[in-house]
Chain A
Amino acid sequence: MPRTATVDTPPEAPGTTAASPAPATRSKRDILRLHRTEHRWAALFVAAPVIGYLLFTLYPIGFAVYASLTSWNGLGPMRFVGLENYVDLISDEYFHKALFNTFFYMIGIPIGLALSLLLALALNRRIPGRTAFRTIYYVPVISSLAAIAIVWQFAYNGDFGLVNQVLAWFGIQGPDWLQNTATVKPAIIIMAIWKGLGYSTLLYLAAIQSVPASLLEAAALDGANAFQRFRSIIMPMVRPVTFFLVVTNVIAGSQIFTEINIMTPTGGPEFSSASVVWYIVRKAFKYQQMGYATAMSIVLGILVLVITLVQFRLNRRNSFAID
């Protein structure tokens, strides 16, 4: 223990191992002073992130909580209205629709994860052009979301879009994807899956490659077939990655905005594609109802927090650890 202690050693127990031959009283004072300066320096270094946190996280959150209790246009003075904004939210049918749409988009998360796990398994095999494939699947991830949204908007066009042209080869008359209440959300989900595939695949690939070969060999020797090996060894071993991806995807998914704003600038026919963040931005910057928009953000933040806590809870119960 004493060997590890440096700064934290109490001054009452001066470092007896110190090589100082000086008189005991003086040495004690010196050490005291040394500790004091070191404490100051430590406090200073700790202060930087703490001040940053207070200034750029805690203060804005506190301010937002207050703003959500006011009627405020974002420019002029704020008028305190108590919980009025929150009460209005309960009966705001567009907010309900936006919440529904936002959660609907999350259907894409399990689909995307399943696809990327499959893809990772495929790319893990020694197939020709493996590196090329890995690169190709990763290109959408590093592309600008705004640019991708514009390209997909063209692709989904009912008359001359790529998607309907391909469908036409098979004799299918495709819908006008983004103008139809039934197809606009699936269309956006498909695009989001395509965009996110490369990133999830990359993480899964890394996880699969760190599965000990000995486990797989042992299972093979015991007569486990490929599916059994996948089911009982690979799946559990990549579980931490799955958990990480689910949590981050849910958080990112709850903030979906850019693709919606570009592909359906009016929130889709009959508000069918509008997400919560899209509605928040519209209220805040188009209609200048900053107080109300902030209240929505707070509700969204709380929902995401609750969902994430539940996920952590579930993960703890099912946690898999190698000892």
Chain B
Amino acid sequence: MTTRRKLLAAAAFTVAGTLALTACSGGGDAGGDSGDKTITFMFRGGPDEKAAYEAAIAKYTEDTGTKVKVIVTDADQYATKLQAAVAGNNVPDVFYIEQASLQSYVASGVLLDITDQVENSDVDLSNIWEYGVNSYRFDGEVQGTPDGAIYGLPKDIGPFSFGYNKTMLEAAGIPLPDKDTPLTWDQFVDISKQLTVDKNGDGTLDQWGTGLNVQWNLQSMVWSNGGDWTNEDHTKVTVDTPEFAEALQKFADLTNVDKVTPSASDAATLDTYQRWMAGEIAFFPVGPWDVSVYNDLDFDYDLIPWPTVGDAGPATWIGSLGIGVSATSKHPDDAAKLVTYLSADPEAQQTLVDANIQIPNLIDVAQEWAAEEGAEPANRQEFLDIAQDYGRAMPAAFTYGAEWYDELWTNIQPVLDGKQTAADYLAEVQPKMQTLLDESIANAEQAG
């Protein structure tokens, strides 16, 4: 008898030991009873965001009695970690969601429809940027429409603006560009040429007009020339149009023909970014997340509308990140409530704005912020103009995955080096992008 009992014990021990490794993926909710509720919130971000959210979460816990367990990851690992959590059936109750992943997460039943919870809460949706709210609306067919169900609220919106080195232009005696009228492309190139000089006379250039990165700056040029990546319902790739080609060619010409940027091999962002911060570059893009760093630089800068290539008016993109709720959350209402605190709590917004890393989500707070006396940059209003008037979603923000979009960049280097014309390259890449977009549409249909 004793041996048998020992045997059973040993067997149980072995099995338990083997299962212990898998057991960690099983547990989820910490304590459902006795009103001591805990929900998990996973996000990525730096210390400023962490501080802001800690304040919002403390207030949330005080108001509702629900505790929040916070999981922070670094930006690179976030997507992988979230996917592993989904595969392990242990999705955090509240988590960040990218615009471009929204549809697949909804189709796979990972994201919860929180329309009712948001509409019944005391959040005034009309006081949050429409673009931001609509980004996480999805009606099963189209994302970004005002009629879709709400699958998240914006963590922020990031209007990508354009700036110039005020100190440099003043020193060169060039009249400062107007903050309301965009420069035409010719004007922009002309000023850039005047500012591309060898200041110390050692025979090599040490100051340039600009230095842009094709992946982040081509959008503005194409859109302002009346071109676009796809047709309106995102089914046909339209990069092989003359408008698109003209814009891309003008981008490459900045380096190869106009010679107003550091040499082609230096086009990687890091280098021009460093040079802008060292005061060697006149015109450079400015995102809200850059402001805290740029405000500490040795020169003054300000924002202007993006220069326009054609006559379609200034254009640029607005990035965004959303906060959603897990469809398997045991406390969906508490989780949805946390989302509203994180997205729209005035105090949390103030903390983030004070850190100079984003513009306020709440429109009234934002307007106050833009009108602030002695603000740096002075023309903060430009961010709001982009958010409200001329900013657009990234070309792949509302498609099912961004592979078709990334294909454009993969082999673009010869165009930037002036070894291939933009028109030739675009004619070559369009069919490949179309194939990938077709696949993504097929995948969306299969998933939905």
Q: Which residues of A contact B (CB under 8 A)?
A: 37, 40-41, 44, 47-48, 51-52, 55-56, 71, 73-76, 79, 94, 157-159, 175-176, 179-181, 266-267, 269-271, 285-289
Contact = CB atoms under 8 A, between A and B. Distances in A.
24 contacts: A40-B7, A47-B14, A48-B14, A48-B18, A51-B15, A52-B18, A73-B104, A73-B443, A74-B83, A74-B86, A75-B83, A75-B86, A75-B87, A76-B447, A159-B266, A159-B271, A180-B265, A181-B413, A270-B411, A285-B80, A287-B402, A288-B401, A289-B403, A289-B443
Contacts of B413: 181, 269-270
Nearest to B86: A75
B11 interface: yes
Nearest to B432: A93
Contact of A287 (B87, B271, B403): B403
A271 B403 contact: no
B447 A48 contact: no
A179 B410 contact: no
Interface stretch (B105-113, B142-150, B316-324): B105-113
Given A79-B446, A270-B413, A288 B265 contact: no
A269 B414 CA distance: 9
Nearest to A51: B18
A241 B399 CA distance: 53
Contact of A176 (B3, B110, B266, B446): B266
Q: Range of interface residues on chain B?
A: 35 or more
A55 B18 contact: yes
Given A40-B7, A159-B266, A175-B265, A271 B18 contact: no
Given A44-B7, A44-B11, A288-B104, A71 B268 contact: no
A185 to B, nearest CB: 15
Nearest to B3: A37
Q: Across the A-B interface, give the 8 residue pairs with the lowest CB-CB distance, nearest first.
A: A76-B108, A75-B108, A176-B265, A287-B403, A269-B413, A270-B411, A285-B80, A287-B401
Contacts of A52: 18
Nearest to A74: B83
Among A37, A73, A157, A159, which residue has the most Cβ atoms of chain B within 10 A?
A: A73
A87 B14 CA distance: 43
Given A159-B271, A180-B265, A269-B413, A73 B18 contact: no
Nearest to A270: B411
A75 B265 contact: no
B291 interface: no
Given A44-B10, A74-B83, 4 more contacts: A75-B83, A176-B266, A179-B267, A271-B410
A293 to B, nearest CB: 12
Among A41, A51, A56, A76, which residue has the most Cβ atoms of chain B within 10 A?
A: A76
Nearest to B87: A74
A75 B11 CA distance: 35
Interface in B39-88: 79-80, 83, 86-87
Among A51, A55, A269, A289, which residue has the most Cβ atoms of chain B within 10 A?
A: A269
Nearest to B11: A44
Contacts of A158: 265-266, 271
A73 B447 contact: yes
A289 B268 CA distance: 29
A67 to B, nearest CB: 11
Contacts of A37: 3, 7
Contacts of B3: 37
A271 B411 contact: yes
B87 A76 contact: no
Contacts of B410: 94, 266-267, 270-271
Contacts of B401: 287-288
Nearest to A292: B439
Given A159-B271, A267-B410, A287-B403, A44 B79 contact: no
Nearest to B109: A76
Among B17, B22, B413, which residue has the most Cβ atoms of chain A within 10 A?
A: B413
Contacts of A285: 79-80, 83
A37 B6 CA distance: 11
Contacts of A176: 265-266, 268
Nearest to A54: B18
B107 A44 contact: no
Contacts of B86: 74-75
Given A44-B10, A47-B14, A71-B443, A76 B409 contact: no
Nearest to B439: A289
Given A71-B443, A271-B410, A44 B265 contact: no
B447 A286 contact: no
Given A158-B265, A159-B266, A180-B265, A266 B104 contact: no
Contacts of A94: 410
A176 B265 CA distance: 6
A179 B214 CA distance: 14
B87 to A, nearest CB: 7
Contact of B446 (A71, A175, A266, A286): A71
Contact of A76 (B107, B268, B402): B107
Given A158-B265, A180-B265, A288-B401, A44 B18 contact: no
Nearest to B17: A48
A41 B14 CA distance: 12
Contacts of A47: 14
A157 B79 CA distance: 28
A74 B85 CA distance: 11
Contacts of A157: 270-271
Interface in B89-110: 101, 104-105, 107-110
A269 B409 CA distance: 9
Contacts of B104: 73, 75-76, 288
A93 to B, nearest CB: 9
Nearest to A284: B83
A318 to B, nearest CB: 42
A101 to B, nearest CB: 14
Contacts of B267: 179
A73 B108 contact: yes
B108 A266 contact: no
A179 B17 contact: no
Nearest to A286: B79
